[in-house]
Structure 1
Amino acid sequence: MQIALAPMEGLVDHILRDVLTRIGGIDWCVTEFVRVTERVLPASAYRKLAPELFTAAQTRAGTQLRVQLLGSDPQCLADNAAFACTLGAPVIDLNFGCPAKTVNKSRGGAVLLKEPELLHRILREVRRTVAADIPVTAKMRLGFDDKGGAIECAQALAEGGAEQIVVHARTKVEGYKPPAHWEWVALIKEAVNVPVFANGDVWTVADWQRCREVSGVDDIMIGRGLVSRPDLARQIAMVKAGEPVVEMTWQEFQPLLNDFWLQARKKLSPRFAPGRLKQWLALLTRNYPEAVLLFDQLRRENDCLRIDAMLGVELPLNAELVS
């Protein structure tokens, strides 16, 4: 069984990937999508979203990072995939699941599920261009506004060369509205001859157990569930290993939250760092009463020095901050 951390645009950046993978249980993670349009992007564009490429495409915990591309031009995606591999990408992932309107309007993400023939061409061209020892994978939803084409799309991806398919078990129109339709993951699993990962609505160990029963797949990708319960992957791994589940307490977790803040302070401007902290805290309130209290205290605070004091952290004397 593999547990993957989902790529969530504007949320699961390299800082959060670092913190979450250090907690344990995550087998691999994925970059926020790299938007590909008309040319091969410069190395700086990749390294901005994936600084882990400087460290053998691994997080500090040694968790593998895959590079995800988003676009609709088969040749341009293939050329960018090949270039990303020269920078150290160990796996190329292709995004056919993003539901954002701005992305879909410019022919990217889930809107391409209306064109299974194009999905096949993209996978075939990327697979043909990328070195044979570099896996190519894909992430999809069940369709744009209708689930009827889900199996055809999955087959197009698999026959084009996808070595794994992650299925977010909703359509684009359904967004993140519950429930996730795990029964469709089971149908897709029976229709393709490559590993299928289930994604969507796994917030607890019990959710994972139900997802596994309904979908028939062991492998799973978790996004919001892991961001709001950072030790969820570790809990699932404990159950899978037949070990008693020991949940991380807030007291155990807070040093990691403080480290997240310190990294945000160093890598983001004072204008944006507080927002990143509040964004994560808002999701943590789902599981931690202490996060509710802290979020209420920080809700209107935008001064980084005052936030330092409220968290009880001190920047190293030699810390270089973004101005």
Structure 2
Amino acid sequence: MSRLLLAPMEGLADYTLRDVLTATGGYDGCVSEFVRVTGSLLPARVYERDTPEIHHGGHTPVGTPMVIQLLGSDPEWMARNAAYAATLSPHGIDLNFGCPAKVVNRHGGGAMLLATPDALNRIVSSVRAAVPVNIAVTAKMRLGVSDTSLAIDCATALAEGGAASIVVHARTRDHGYRPPAHWEWIARIDDAVDVPVIANGDVWSVDDWERCRAVSGCADVMIGRGAVSDPFLALRIRGMMDKSPSAAEWPGVLGHILDYLKKLQGRISSQHEHGRVKLWLSYLKRTWPQAAELHAAIRRLHDSLEIQGVIESALTGMPATPPLRA
């Protein structure tokens, strides 16, 4: 059976959602949201905030291994920060060369580095030299900035720099997240490098996973937004649940949403809790129409305890009675 990895998703798959999704089951590993490196050595509190799995031996609460992802463009500072991050018990250091966000790309980071394969090589080489040999250094890339002309050169630069494996998101930066993902390009990259390649992009269902593997030729697949839209996707791929979602699963989804909200209440500022739940529901709408109804019911609510009452009401079928704040 191939490996299934939960993708890093900036602004979406924070520690709490990683906790909930990996607890659902089926994943062999996960990658943190990127930790941004500029011109300084980041303090421990940054990792404690963004990758609290480091307090559990680099695992999520259910034991799924976590890799810390770094994003930056300066080889020296990337190396220094990777060396420190490697002391925090992660299961690897991943380097982000795929983020399409404008705020990141304006400073030459993320996917913008795909315009200069030599820069990719320098960063990976510097990080690999700074990190103990027992800690894997990996990389995640897209197919290019605006076209695929340098895709093979970029992947080769990463592999020759010391990347132990490469995740390829099968779109360019300019392509964003618009379908389709070009899995055939992953196959070309896999043929060109001597390190394992992991396919990523547009895996929303079991059928997508099967086609992605067939077209890319890759055994291992990383799942991102598909996992957020269907928290049972990994279990479906494993054959542990029905292949297609059904209305009968909605109470289970509600239970996960409630678990997510309760965990958020203990981890982040209350002013952000409602936004996180609404964001997840916006993805769940793709799979369950009931998510759209719940989203509409809480759309104007900003108190997480009121939202909790609505969700609990949906689970029990009783009118919502918001819990009192202490």
Alignment-derived partner of residue 14 in structure 1: 15
Match of residue 135 from structure 1? 136
Tell me the amino acid that sits aligned with residue 170 of structure 1. R
Gap regions ≥5 residues in structure 2 = 314-320
Counterpart in the other structure of 2:270? 270
Which residue in the other structure is 1:203 paired with? Answer: 204
Counterparts of 2:183 and 2:256, CA distance in 1: 33
Instruction: Say whether the 8 Å CA contact 2:5–2:221 is kept in structure 1.
Output: yes
Q: 1:299 to 1:121 in 2, by over 3 A?
A: same
Does 2:225 align with 1:227? no
Q: 1:53 to 1:316 in 2, by over 3 A?
A: farther
1:315, CA displacement in angstroms?
11
Whether 1:43 aligns to 2:53 is no
Q: Distance in 1 between matches of 2:290 and 2:187?
A: 38
Mapped contact 2:306–2:322 kept (Cα < 8 A):
no
In the other structure, the counterpart of 2:81 is 80
Letter in 1 for 2:52: P
The alpha carbon displacement at 1:304 in A equals 2.3
SS at match of 2:271: coil
2:202, 2:208 within 8 Å by CA — same for their partners in 1?
Answer: yes
Alignment of 1:168-207 (within 5 A): 168-207=169-208
Tell me how large the CA RMSD over aligned residues is. Answer: 2.0
CA contact (8 A) 2:198 2:219 kept: yes
In the superposition, relative to structure 1, how do residues 210 and 288 fare at CA in structure 2: closer, same or farther (>3 Å)? Answer: same
> When the two structures are superposed, what TM-score results if normalisation uses the length of structure 1?
0.94
Query: Which amino acid in 1 is paired with 2:312?
Result: G
Q: 4+ residue stretches of structure 1 with deviation over 6 A? A: 313-317
Q: Which amino acid aligns with 1:38?
A: G
- Alpha-carbon distance, 1:257 to partner: 1.2
User: Against the structure 1 CA distance between its residues 315 and 123, is the aligned structure 2 distance closer, same or farther, given a 3 Å change threshold?
Assistant: farther
Deviations 1:57-115 (A, max 9, x none): 10111100100000011111111011011122220000000000110001110000011
How far did 1:255 drift?
A: 1.6
Q: Distance in 2 between matches of 1:103 and 1:274?
A: 26
What pairs up with 1:112-151 in 2 under 5 angstroms? 112-151=113-152
Question: Post-superposition shift, 1:244?
Answer: 6.5
Range 122-131 or range 243-252, more displaced: 243-252
Alpha-carbon shift at residue 271 of structure 1 (Å): 1.3
Q: Output the amino acid matched with 2:124.
A: L
Q: Tell me the equivalent position of 2:297.
A: 297
1:81–1:130 contact (8 Å) kept in structure 2: yes
User: 1:127–1:136: 8 Å Cα contact kept in structure 2?
Assistant: yes
Confirm or deny: 8 A CA contact 2:206 2:243 kept in the other structure.
no
Give the secondary structure class of the aligned counterpart of 1:271: helix
Match of 2:55 in 1: 54
User: For residues 239 and 54 of structure 2, what CA distance do their matches in structure 1 show?
Assistant: 30
Q: Per the alignment, do residues 316 and 42 of structure 1 end up closer, same or farther by CA in structure 2, a change over 3 Å counting?
A: farther
| Secondary structure, counterpart of 1:8 in structure 2 | coil
* Counterpart contact for 2:309–2:323, Cα < 8 Å: no
> Once the two structures are superposed, what CA deviation does each residue of 1:251-275 show, in whole Å capped at 9, x if it has no partner?
2222221110011122222211100
Matched, 1:93 2:98: no
Please state whether the residue corresponding to 2:38 is helix, strand or coil. Answer: coil
Q: Which AA in structure 2 matches 1:278?
A: K
Point out the more displaced range, 246-255 or 112-121: 246-255
Q: Structure 1 residue 247: deviation in Å?
A: 5.1
Could you tell which deviates more after superposition, 184-193 or 212-221?
Answer: 212-221
- Matched position secondary structure for 1:31: strand
Equivalence for 1:260: 260
Distance 2:95 2:143 in 1: 15
Identify the residue that residue 106 of structure 2 maps to in structure 1: 105
What residue number does 1:250 align with?
250
Contact 1:262 1:315 in 2 (8 A): no
Q: Secondary structure at the match of 1:38?
A: coil
